[in-house]
Amino acid sequence: MLWLTRAASPQFYRPIRFRLIKKLDLTTYDGWIWLEGYQVDDRGDAIARRAVFVREQGLRKL
């Protein structure tokens, strides 16, 4: 489970919990990656499947 904030990408001005499925094998800018997974609510239930473009250094494990 990851906590995605503005440190990961400007799109996360409101942080989200993210259950990672996999890292996508796409060419990106240095230090950035595509992840596929589920946005989850406070109870841990999936509310949306998403692919997100984030900075590796900005990821925080929960």
pTM for the predicted model, two decimal places: 0.90
- According to the model, what pLDDT value does residue 19 have? 98
Give CA–CA dist 37/57, Å, rounded: 18
Residue 48's DSSP bridge partners are 39
- According to the model, what pLDDT value does residue 5 have? 98
Torsions phi, psi for 6 (to 5 deg): -60, -20
Range of the domain at 10: 2-61
Based on the structure, what is the number of domains in the chain? 1
Mean pLDDT of successive 10-residue stretches along the chain, which has 62 residues: 98 97 95 98 96 98 96
